[in-house]
A and B are shown apart, each in its own frame.
Chain A
Amino acid sequence: MSRILKCHQGIGNKVEGIVLCANDNFSARYDLDRINGIFSRPQHKLFGQTYKNKILVLNESKGGVASAWMLYEMKIRDVVPKAILFNRANTILAQGATLADLPMCDRFEDGDITSLLSTGDKVIVDPVTGKVEII
């Protein structure tokens, strides 16, 4: 049985994919080995995990203005998450997702998205209507 999680209107178009989730924050500059597509910051809860083609689910985006260009650069090289869901996105990641046309949503009505979803869940993200469906 599917369940729908409502959120604020997001960025980009509808996608389907597998969740990679942690109750941790996110910066493309601080946390990632962008060439190989893995989390490279030892303190990060997703350290060593591959994010390519995953629906990345994290708490907040943090630091680093550079992430705005980086999402676009990652998208062009096709080593990029399929979508990113946050409890709250900062301005940089939202701007970067806009340039990269990378689906991004935040502000979920039912609470903490990092506890509502688990790694391995299959979801459909629809930023236009502001809905994430667990299937």
Chain B
Amino acid sequence: MFLNDEEKSMLNGELGESKKWAIEHQIKVGNFFSAKDFISVSQAHMMVDPESIGEAGVIFLENLVEMGACVSVPTITDPRGVDLNYYKPLGQTENMANIDRRTIKACTSMGILMTNTCVNYQTIMPPVLGDHVAYGDTGVVIYSNSVCGARTNFEGGPSALAAGFTGRTPRYGLHLDKNRLPTKRFNLKYQPKDLTDWGILGAIVGKQSGSYWEVPIIEGLEVIPNSDEMKHLGAAMASYGSTPLFHLDKITPEAKNIKLDEFDYIDIKTIEKSDFDTLKSSFGQKGDKVDVVVFAAPQLSIVEMQRVADLCDKNTFKVPVIVCTSPQVYADALRMGFIKKIESSGAKVLEGTCFYNQYAREIGEANGWKRLLSNSTKIVNILGGYGYEPLLANMETCINSAVTGELI
């Protein structure tokens, strides 16, 4: 890779041990992907939840603190794995909480902003068109690339941290214009009706795209999806297909420059209502027993919180209901009375976590939860690997099913 003088200084250790580690890491990754040089980034976003980093990861971070490491561009965090105000009732252990406490301490020492959110594009500082960033969280990446027109690869925790230190990332993948053009075409014959439908559409497209290196474009949409709808569409697509970028014909910013007749060599796959029904039917049937209802993945926006609060109001639930949101939205929801409304019904709102990255297997076993019902097409995909039998339904059906204890 070509290195400029500053990058050479980092590599030689003249700018500190942590930057030396960071740029060495980035050069190895850059070589793997044949990157020619580096590109400056305006922000980094790091997944650093305790379940994925473990004891080994905390020690790694603490060693960086010892080296005097400090980020050089704004670096924010993905959801935590433990809500430190509410973990024992979930069956989470003191050891899990301690890993989280140590992580927070180490990250804070390095100047990292503990935003604890996977919806930073709704609450913190959304990237702008053409903005190069180093984002973690697949949902954040796909939204930022597709809806904002920013440029980022999936940056795993270590690489996002390295980018935070060096203020740059190797120029490969989606930082290059040539990798942002459509390679798969889909024509939609059924218009999504609610957030779950948008997630299902994402799952269908993600499954058929099936690779980080494919870029789907969806034609035939008759509505412009709002931010929450885009959020569920993208999060599910990334989850099912490892997809980091999509275009919506005539809607998303880069799609406006794509002339589809230049891509007429690509077969167009039609998506019908029956495709939606087929995907949904693999996640539970009416009458199935429900052990727990979860709203998460991605964290809820203030608009979703209001909707959940209205649906919870004056209900009594037979099974636990868990709602995950960001600290930013939580503060607003508290001020606006949504938290009180939700929790008066017996549901619980967790702050700064997301259910699937908070030791989902362990809390499932501790509480005897197997049949988990959610309106998130993403979470039902993930939790199959964590010993759950996930069920999928829209938000209203989830709430009504929590009242009866079975899928309505």
Contacts and interface: CB of A to CB of B under 8 A. Distances in A.
A, B assembled together: yes
Interface of A: 8-11, 25, 27, 29-33, 40-44, 60-70, 72-73, 75-77, 88-92, 94-96, 98-99, 104
B382 A30 contact: yes
A91 B384 contact: no
A72 B238 contact: no
B57 A66 contact: no
Interface string B37-69: 000000000011101111111001000000000
A96 B137 contact: no
B95 to A, nearest CB: 14
Contact of B238 (A44, A63, A98): A63
Interface stretch (B187-195, B207-215, B261-269, B343-351): B207-215
Contact of A64 (B28, B31, B138, B213): B138
B158 A41 contact: no
A99 B136 contact: no
B32 A73 contact: no
B73 interface: no
Interface residues of B, number: 49
Contacts of A89: 32
B155 interface: yes
A27 to B, nearest CB: 8
A130 B398 CA distance: 50
Nearest to B59: A76
Contacts of B57: 69, 72-73
Contacts of B156: 65-69, 91-92, 95-96, 99
A60 B28 CA distance: 20
Given A68-B159, A91-B154, A63 B33 contact: no
B333 to A, nearest CB: 26
A63 B29 contact: no
A69 B86 CA distance: 25
23 contacts: A11-B28, A25-B242, A29-B385, A30-B382, A31-B385, A33-B361, A62-B241, A63-B240, A65-B78, A65-B155, A66-B51, A66-B357, A68-B157, A72-B57, A72-B60, A72-B158, A73-B52, A88-B212, A90-B154, A90-B211, A91-B173, A95-B155, A98-B32
B239 interface: yes
A41 B390 CA distance: 12
